[in-house]
Structures are given as C-alpha cells and as structure tokens.
Structure 1
Amino acid sequence: MVIPVHDVNPVRRTPWVTYALIVTNVLVFVSTPGLAGSVAGDSDLAQLCHLQAFLDHYAAVPQELIHHRMPRLVPTGEVGFGVHGPGCVVGPPPYDKSPVLSVFTSLFLHGGWLHLLGNMLFLLIFGNNVEDRMGRVRFALFYVVCGYAAAYGFALLNADSGDPLIGASGAIAGVLGAYLVLYPRARVWVLVPFLIFLPLRLPAWLVLGFWFGLQAVYSSGGGVSDAGTVAYAAHVVGFLAGMLLAWPLKPGTPPPPEPRGLLFGRRARPGW
C-alpha cells in the first residue's frame, strides 16, 4: 500500500469547495455524540449506545435504501439490563428518517480518526485539481453524485444489510476516478512502506490504478462500512462513476507541468 502525500500539479484558483468539505467533515466528526470517548479509548456503554443510535439515525442503511422502509426496532441510545447483563435498548424509531437524505448525511460521518484523516488526505491532494477543472459548483454537485452512486451501488449488492454505511470514501473515490481521467500523467509523491517509509514520485495512473485494483480485489470478498469493516464495493462504484462523469472534460484539460528533479534516482524524462 502506498500513501500519497503531495501531487505535482498546481491549481489556478483556491479550491474553496475542497477546503469547505474538509472543514465540514472535521467539525461533524468532533461534534458527533458519543464518538470522542470511543476514539480516546475510554468510552463507556452509555456513550457507545448513544453513538449507535446517532449513526442509525443519520447513516445510510442498505436495506432502508432498497426497501424504503424503517426497521421496527432501532437503538434508542439508552442503556438497559437484560438476561445477559447491561446493553443498548432498542425500540420503535422515535424519528422520521428519509433514506434518500440519509445518503447525504452519511457522507460527513466517520467511525474514527484514521477513517477521517485518510479520507481527508486523499481529498486534499486530489480534490483541488478536480475542482479547479470542473469549477466550484459543478465539483460540489459531482462530489454528491459520486457519493450517492457509491451508496446505492453498495446497497444494491447488499440489499438486506442493516449495518450503517458511513464515510466520505465513496464520494472521494469518485474524485480519484476523475483525477485519473483528467491527469493520468501528473506526478504524485508517495510513501512506500519498505523497512522504512520510502518517498517516491510516481505517475498518477500508477498510484490511482493500484489503489483501484486493491479496492476491486477486496470488494470481491464483500464487506460493510461500519466501524470495523470497509465498504470496498462502494469505493469501486464511486471510482467508476467519477471516471464516467469526468470523461467529457478530458479533451480540454491542459496537461500537468513536467516536474524537474530526480525520479527513481534518475532524472525524469518528458512523457514518462
């Protein structure tokens, strides 16, 4: 696995939408009830029950998206005592939930710091150039559309799943797909774990193609996007949606500048 840290592809204007998305995701994360304690490792049962109820309310749930109905029982956020000891109480939903709207709210929910920071790193590196090429309004719409495509694509493959689907990964996968179409030859600085973190400058088509290949392989084994697993199939769908939506913009996209300096210990050649 490689970790991107920077791309050699300057933008013409400030990517305000990308920055706004990052700030919004961070603010939602730190204000999510019950999450601060679980991240710090000192959460109690009450906090976990509260978090579970919050996610069931605002996260996208595949069976709700496909069947358009709420389950009869959901976590209430309260702690109770049963025959097996203390646990989270379930009961009839105390709220009205729109499955379609839940996809939007789920794009700003994350299950932990690693989940959040990993997504925001990819968005920061690759989102600015895609926004620069599309324009702010079109990029914002593109981001949401890719998020919806990823969520519904995953739901179709897991129609009976009741696990909450959270995170911006599907939308950001769309950004990566668009970047691959628009700037395949842009150079990306990455860290490769090999005894130590080895810095390399690689073409975007190699970095993003490798990332997509991993998601495709992992998705063949299924998975869901709760705090412990990853919805790889949503990444695949979001990536493909991003490629398709960005394809009409490819002919008019100027190529990234040729970087100077060394590449793999030797001077980079034009067109590599």
Structure 2
Amino acid sequence: MVKKAVLPVAGLGTRFLPATKASPKEMLPIIDKPLIQYAVEEAIKAGIEEFLFITGKHKRAIEDHFDKAYELEERLKSAGKYELLEKINCFENHNFVFIRQKEPKGLGDAILCAKSFVKDEPFVVILSDDLIDPEYPVLKEMLQIYEEKKAPVIALEEVPVSEISRYGIVSGKEIDGFYVIDDLVEKPEPEDAPSNLAIIGRYILTPKIFKHLESVKPGKSGEIQLTDALKTLLEETEIYGFIIKGKRYDAGEKLGYLKTIVEFALKDPEISSQFIAFLKEKLSTF
C-alpha cells in the first residue's frame, strides 16, 4: 500500500508577487481553506498517512498551519465553537515532516530531497497548484492502476495547443482506459510536442526515480526536471498515464486562481445564493 506523500512547496511564487514575498503561495485561500490543505485532504481520502513537505525560505506558515494551535483551540472551546475546532484539528492522526530545499533548483531536485523519507517505498507526489475537484477521487483511481501494474502512474489532461509549452507532454498507447507512455518532453513548443497530453500535478512514483534524478542533467533554466528523469526511467520500467475525469483548477496563475475562487464560491452552501446575487448585480452594470 502507498502510505507516503511528498508535497513540493519550495517555489518562489513569483506570479503572485507581492503577496508571496513573505507568505507562501500554497497558503493562498480558496474561500476559507488554503491551497495546500486541499492537497493534504485529497491524499488522506486516498489512504495516505505520512506527509513530507519540501519547503524553502518564507514557508514557515505551512508548518504552522499543520501544527497545534493551543491558544486558538482553547478560545474556540470556551466559545463553544466546536465545529470550527474540529476543522482545525482534522490532521491530528497523520504525520507531517518538513525538509528545506536549499535553493529552488526545480521539481526534480525537490523530489530528490525526499529520498531519505521515502526509503524503499512507493509514494505520491502532489502539486497543490493543480487543485482537482474535491469530490473526484483522482488519487484513488491512480492507486488502483498502481496496485495492478506496480509501476509509476502520472495524471494527464488534454490541453489546447496554445497551452502545450506550459506543461510536460507525453505520448503513448491507450489500453483499457489508461496510457502506456513511450515518450515525455518538458515544455515543448507545440510543433515539437508528441501530443497534447499534459502531465498534471499528481504522480505515483517508486524509489527507482531517485537514481535518475541524481544523474539527469539540468535543463535550460539550470533546474532538474522530473519529466527528464521520468524519460530515462522509461528505459527500465513502464510508466502509465491516467487521464483525469474530474475538473482541474489551475490555481497557480492569477486568472486561474480567481476562476477557482468563483467556482468554489458558487458551490459553497453557506454563501452560494448571496454570491450569485452579487455576481448578477455586478454583471448587470457591464
């Protein structure tokens, strides 16, 4: 069983400056919950018990978020706000470990930092920028493929040609609802891409990935890319791709983040009716 998850959160978050100058991008809220919490909750629903956060400078707020808050808890108890108390104590039965990536050298380097934590076990990697509908059990579906194949599984989504250069792109043969991958390319130009199947921020990996991360050469930006290491990993094991069926929200850039907030607000039973009325009023003035 896969019980460990790695969450790389050391990125600089430059798209959200100045908000992310001293506050982690992963702590940006979607309504009343930060991005990183959605990722953790998704993993818990899939049976994950241990979490490793690969952090960096100015990321201490993430560690504090998953820690106890004794004074706040006592105030909530004395005020009789037990529902809120339960919400902030929902991670007590899970283990959280934090390792600092010394410098931002890419996703591959961040995952390499997890080697001592992972040891000889398979593990999940979650990128919290890619927020997937909480009602859709994407990790559970990917884990079913892993349990059958005992090989790496990566989440995929078809993207418009205009967006291909933003993603790692794969090609492969579709069999029984998933892909047997035969090539991976990091952020190709559309004319050079093997397909429009983009890698989304969900991976199930095995410890074999580490020796490939250690030997892969840095890319043009000087970063170690996970996609490049997966490409060489193909030489010794099959890699499977799974096209996600639920909606993915790209909360890693401004417009996508705003769209995510709107869609989640429209589904929130506490505020949806008032929010819809507000939107109708605003739109009528344009």
With the length of structure 2 as denominator, give the TM-score of the two structures.
0.29
**Higher helix share goes to which structure?**
1
